[in-house]
Amino acid sequence: MGFPEDIYRLGSQVSTRKEYCKGNEEATKHSLILPFFQILGYDIHDPSVLVPEFKAGFASNKEKIDYAIFLGGKPVLFVEAKAIGEKLENYDAQLAKYFNSAPDLKLATITNGIRYKFFTDLQKPNMLDPEPFFEFDLEQITPEEIRTLEDFRADSFNSSSLVTKAENLVYLRSLKKKFRSLFRDPSEEFVRFIAKDIFLGKMTEKVLERLTPLVREAMSVVLVEMVSQGLSQEIAKPDEANVVIPAAEPQSEEKGKIETTEEELAAFQIVCNLIAESMGDAQGVAYKDTVNYFGIHFEKRTKWFMRLVLSTPNKHAVVRIPAAQAMALLGEGRRVDAISPDTCKVFVGNIEDLAAIREAILAAYRMVMAVPVEM
């Protein structure tokens, strides 16, 4: 198994172990936190690599960081551990005290075994930034976050490179925030910039009032088109068995007659029951039948998380998670084929078999739930 698969597997284990670790810091450390750093390639049993209860700088003997990770004989990362259920923000100041007492240190993290928050000192040297440059939830970790984690592995760890990456992540977060703001409410300066080569007349206040909603609409339409085309290109790739996977948008009824079968409706009910049992309810879950597949989505069709193909001998579900994550959740006994970096095909014998791929369905559902309905 590779690094992504190991991370996804630990995320799945967190879901089953967390109830036994809640409120127990030592259990959280041994069952969740230490396995995480072991996956990153650190020898958790070597006291020259991972030092527990490390006294940092001028910190008092009674106040020690839970773990210090050493590379080349020097501490490179402080790890403050809290029990599952603890709100990490309540302890940021505690982590800052430890960090600030170690002038040569550049990186520190605080975790409760599920959430991880990574900090550095971009704003002021040797003073922990008030906001983390990188954070994630191990139960809902994304492929992009796993790629970022690659840089924290023991065999590739470099403090200087990580600080540069931290700076880039902070800039990227600010740029995303700025773009979201522009999409919702484009500024006058932005409208002027966009429209200057299109509207050749004088840019009066009245013209700006007219153009602003058009700019907003144009950006929204283009964004949706780009996303839809990207998904369509990826999902439309055939696999080695030459089974055609439908594009992101359903085909027109002119290309075939759509017939919603009893089997598809029964499958939809099974999926709703699985979601309700885990999440409390399945409100917002709906379906859209097409010629080539039976799609299940949350709130609207673009937020689909599962597509069922039940009319062929090789019945399968296309789920909106990476193949590596699905394999980690379902085990080696289940055939999983990658379709794109973020979608995969899971084969099922019949609709009753959907219960056996429950964790993959729920992971895909949680992923689309986190996507805003509107920009």
| C-alpha triplet 68, 72, 77: angle, nearest 5° | 25
Please determine, looking at this structure, whether the domain spanning 253-369 carries the CATH number 2.60.120.260.
Answer: no
Pairing of strands 115-119, 134-137: antiparallel
Under DSSP, is residue 184 helix (H, G, I), strand (E, B) or coil? helix
Q: 297-316: per-residue pLDDT in tens?
A: 998 888 899 999 998 888 99
- Range 3-170: architecture per CATH: Alpha-Beta Complex (3.90)
For residue 330, which amino acid is it? Answer: L
136-154: average pLDDT: 91
Tokens of 303: 């937020």
pLDDT at 32 exceeding the cut of 90: yes
Q: How many CA atoms lie within 13 A of 358 on its CB side?
A: 13
Q: What is the pLDDT of residue 248?
A: 37
Pairing of strands 343-347, 65-71: unpaired
Alpha carbon distances (Å) from 139 to 7, 42, 114, 173, 329: 10, 21, 7, 22, 11
Q: What is the mean pLDDT of the chain?
A: 84
- Range from 35-39, 107-111, 180-184 carrying the lowest mean pLDDT: 180-184
Q: What is the pLDDT of residue 71?
A: 92
Residue 49 has phi, psi (to 5 degrees) of: -105, -50
Residue 266 has phi, psi (to 5 degrees) of: -65, -40
Under DSSP, is residue 72 helix (H, G, I), strand (E, B) or coil? coil
| C-alpha triplet 65, 71, 77: angle, nearest 5° | 35
Residue 196 neighbours by CB under 8 Å, 6+ apart: 203
Task: Give the span between the Cα atoms of 8 and 12, in whole angstroms.
Answer: 6
| Domain layout of the chain by residue ranges | 3-170, 185-235, 253-369
Q: What is the pLDDT of residue 231?
A: 47
Residue 245 confidence class, pLDDT cut points 50, 70, 90: very low
β-pair partners for 174:
none
pLDDT at 375 exceeding the cut of 60: no
pLDDT at 69 exceeding the cut of 90: yes
Residue 197 neighbours by CB under 8 Å, 6+ apart: none
Q: Which of 56, 55, 10 is nearest to 33 (CA)?
A: 10
Please give, one letter per residue, the 3-state secondary structure of 344-362. EEEECCCHHHHHHHHHHHH
Residue 211 has phi, psi (to 5 degrees) of: -80, -30
